Each structure stands twice: as C-alpha cells, then as structure tokens.
C-alpha cells in the first residue's frame, strides 16, 4: 500500500514521514519534480510470530506500507494560493491513500504560512484542494467527451453518452463540495470513473500534528461537516517527539514512552487508522516455505482474494480451505482442525474474514 504524505508547507510532513519511517527511507526521482523520499515500513502482524513458531517456515512475510514525502511545491512556479502543484497532483493519483498532515502545534518561532495556527482551516483547505483538482479533471473530461460526441458516428454514441453523464454528475457533486467517495454512484458509474483516479475517491486520513502539550482536535470539534468528513480517518501524533523516539533503541524508546505516559507508537496508530480507513483485513497463508499476511479490501470474495497471491489464481480458483486463526492455534494443526470440523471448504463467493488462514486449491 502506497500512502502519500501531503499538507501545507511547514505543517510537519517531513517530520511525520521521518517519525513513521525511522530512517528506512530512500529517495527516488519523481518525474522531474525533484527527489521524492520513499520509506517502506513493515506492518508487523503479531499472528505471524505465533505461526512462525508452529511451522518454522523458511521465511515470514509481513505486509508493507510505503510512505511518500513529496518534493516540496516550487513556490516560484506556483500561484500564490496553490497548495499542491500540478506535478504533485499527478503523483497523488498513483497513491492508494493520502495522509494529510495538519499543523496543530503552537510554536511562536515558526510562522504559519496562512497566519495563525488553525487546524480546522488547514484541514478544510487541503480537502478543498483535492476537490478542486478533481473538478478540473472532470471539466477537462467533460470538454473532451462533448467534443467526441459531436464527431461520433451514431453507433459510437451509446458508449459515450453515459460516460459524459457520469462525469457531469460527479462534477456537479464536487461543485457542491461533496467528495467523490461521498457521492452515490452506481457500479457502472464507478467503473466509468476508475481511469480518472480522482483524489476525492481515495481514502484520506487527517493526521493532526500536535505539540507535546496540545490535545488532539477532531474533525467534528473543528466543525467540518459530515458531507466533507464522511469516510475520513483521523489520528493525532506529536511528530517531532515521535521523530526523536523513532531513531532510539526500542528499549530506550519504550522507557521514554512509559515515562511520558504515551500510548502506542505513532507508527502503529497511523497504520491502524490507515488500514481501517482504506478498509483492509488480512488473510494468512501458512506452510513450510512461507507464512504470510495478505492485506485485502474488507468484504472481498475468496476468488478475488486468491488473485492477490497470483493473478492466475483467480481464473484457476477451485475452492478455498479456510480455518480461523484462533481455531488453528487451538487445534495445533490443519489436520486436527479438519478432524474437529473447523477447517471448512469454501467456494468462490465466500467473504474472506480478517485472520482467516487459507489454502487455495487452484487449477493453473
């Protein structure tokens, strides 16, 4: 999963990125926009440690999150109130989710580019920027489809008309401030929009960057309406402090956390909120070669889940042997699970649950 870290200048994006990736980062070119920092973090699934003890596999594979710290906006090329550059918007289309960093820390020594510290204003400004980018994309699409329709032969019209209508519908919604994901769309409308990779259709998490003394605001407490905040995730962290803790030895960092009364490390909390906002669950595979956790969208059916292991597995799907993780641990082996009747055989449309240990039977 690729998560792009965005936000106003000086909101603490790089600090949050460092706190989350703790030195596991490298820079990559970003299409002429300057270097983009990319950090890969393993999402440790504690169930894998237990399965490792049971199966002693050659390897254990944890899922990964890739965080991106975008190259800063080129102030000279950008217009005065531009919050994201055109290049940044293009990069964002490829992300699976967006993490908006909002400054909630007071620091008299650090001027805020928009005046005083106001997390509500900043969160709204960033959300509006995403909607604006989408609105522009829909306007371009509308003009193009209008034009194509004028030139179209009668036989081509039936394919173009619904596309144009969908674009106009979403555009109207965006004009009213409703992000794509809060709009009611039919499956065929959603499919028609897939290629646009609209930013307001992506999962978004707002990360409030607080100081050590401030409490974390909430979207609701900031008066952000449900229309706009629907489906958004939110999390608070003290990025500067977490950045320092992230580079300490784990024992030392734990001692600090305890002494300061901090709960779970920010990297864990941000990960949980991102998983919940994107709507991910993990199924598990076990064996002597490998034990692994596979993040998939909640509600996915077994046949599609098989495709995350190998695309051929979707086509060749026969059935899935499924046992809940807890049942496997209690039984001690798949064979015992089968004896007790908790290892079931499931078909294509079985809805995969978090913690299902699955063996896919496929014909390839």
Residues in contact with Mg ion by the rule CB under 5 A: 13-14
Rounded Cα–Cα distance for residues 195 and 177 (Å)? 22
Q: Which of 1, 15, 91, 253 binds ligand GDP (CB under 6 A)?
A: 15
Residue 37 binds ligand GDP, judged by CB under 6 A: no
Smallest distance from ligand GDP to CB 111, Å: 10
Rounded Cα–Cα distance for residues 131 and 124 (Å)? 10
Smallest distance from ligand GDP to CB 204, Å: 17
Output the 3-class SS for 301-360.
EHHHHHHHHCCHHHHCEEEEEEEEHHHHHHHCCHHHHHHCCCCEEECCCCECCCCEEEEE
Q: Which of 47, 202, 240, 271 binds ligand GDP (CB under 6 A)?
A: 240
Give the burial class of 289: count Cβ atoms within 10 A of its Cβ; 0-12 exposed, 13-18 middle, 19 or more buried: exposed
Which CB sits closer to ligand GDP, 15 or 314? 15
Residue 85 binds ligand GDP, judged by CB under 6 A: no
Q: Which does 328 bind (CB under 5 to 8 A by kind): ligand GDP, Mg ion, none?
A: none
Helix (H) or strand (E) run with residue 100 in it: strand 97-103
Which CB sits closer to ligand GDP, 209 or 303? 209
Smallest distance from ligand GDP to CB 211, Å: 5
Give the burial class of 36: count Cβ atoms within 10 A of its Cβ; 0-12 exposed, 13-18 middle, 19 or more buried: middle
Mask of contacts with ligand GDP, 99-138, x by CB under 6 A?
Answer: ------x-x--x----------------------------
Smallest distance from Mg ion to CB 30, Å: 13
**290 near 60, Cβ under 8 Å?**
yes
Residue 239 binds ligand GDP, judged by CB under 6 A: yes
Which CB sits closer to Mg ion, 125 or 152? 125
Rounded Cα–Cα distance for residues 306 and 314 (Å)? 6
Q: Which of 200, 209, 277, 314 binds ligand GDP (CB under 6 A)?
A: 209
Helix (H) or strand (E) run with residue 79 in it: none
Strand partners of residue 360: 320
Q: Which does 163 bind (CB under 5 to 8 A by kind): ligand GDP, Mg ion, none?
A: none
**193 near 220, Cβ under 8 Å?**
no
Q: Which does 12 bind (CB under 5 to 8 A by kind): Mg ion, ligand GDP, none?
A: ligand GDP
Q: Which residues bind ligand GDP (CB under 6 A)?
A: 7, 9-15, 105, 107, 110, 209, 211, 238-240
């Amino acid at each position: 999963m690729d998560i792009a870290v965005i936000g106003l200048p000086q909101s603490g994006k790089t600090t949050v990125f460092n706190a989350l990736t703790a030195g596991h980062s490298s820079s990559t070119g970003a299409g002429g926009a300057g270097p983009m920092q990319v950090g890969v973090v393993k999402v440790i699934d504690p169930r894998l440690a237990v399965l490792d003890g049971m199966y002693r596999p050659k390897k254990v594979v944890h899922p990964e999150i890739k965080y991106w710290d975008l190259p800063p906006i080129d102030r000279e090329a950008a217009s005065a109130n531009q919050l994201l550059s055109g290049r940044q918007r293009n990069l964002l289309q490829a992300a699976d989710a967006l993490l908006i960093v909002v400054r909630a820390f007071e620091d008299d020594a650090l001027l805020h580019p928009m005046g005083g510290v106001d997390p509500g204003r900043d969160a709204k400004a960033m959300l509006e920027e995403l909607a604006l980018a989408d609105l522009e994309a829909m306007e371009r699409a509308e003009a193009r489809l209008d034009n194509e329709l004028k030139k179209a032969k009668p036989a081509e019209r039936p394919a173009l008309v619904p596309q144009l209508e969908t674009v106009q519908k979403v555009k109207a919604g965006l004009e009213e401030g409703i992000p794509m994901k809060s709009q009611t769309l039919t499956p065929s409308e959603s499919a028609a929009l897939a290629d646009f990779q609209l930013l307001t259709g992506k999962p978004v998490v707002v990360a409030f960057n607080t100081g050590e003394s401030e409490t974390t605001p909430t979207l609701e407490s900031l008066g952000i309406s449900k229309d706009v905040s629907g489906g958004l995730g939110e999390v608070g962290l003290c990025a500067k402090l977490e950045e320092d803790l992230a580079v300490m030895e784990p024992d030392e960092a734990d001692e600090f956390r305890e002494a300061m009364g901090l709960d779970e490390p920010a990297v864990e909390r941000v990960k949980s909120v991102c998983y919940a906002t994107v709507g991910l669950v993990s199924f598990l595979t076990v064996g002597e070669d490998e034990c692994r956790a596979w993040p998939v969208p909640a509600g996915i059916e077994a046949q599609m889940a098989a495709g995350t292991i190998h695309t051929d597995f979707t086509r060749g799907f026969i059935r899935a042997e499924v046992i809940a993780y807890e049942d496997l641990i209690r039984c001690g082996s798949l064979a015992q699970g089968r004896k007790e009747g908790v290892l079931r055989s499931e078909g294509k449309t079985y809805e995969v649950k978090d913690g299902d240990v699955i063996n896919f039977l496929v014909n390839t």
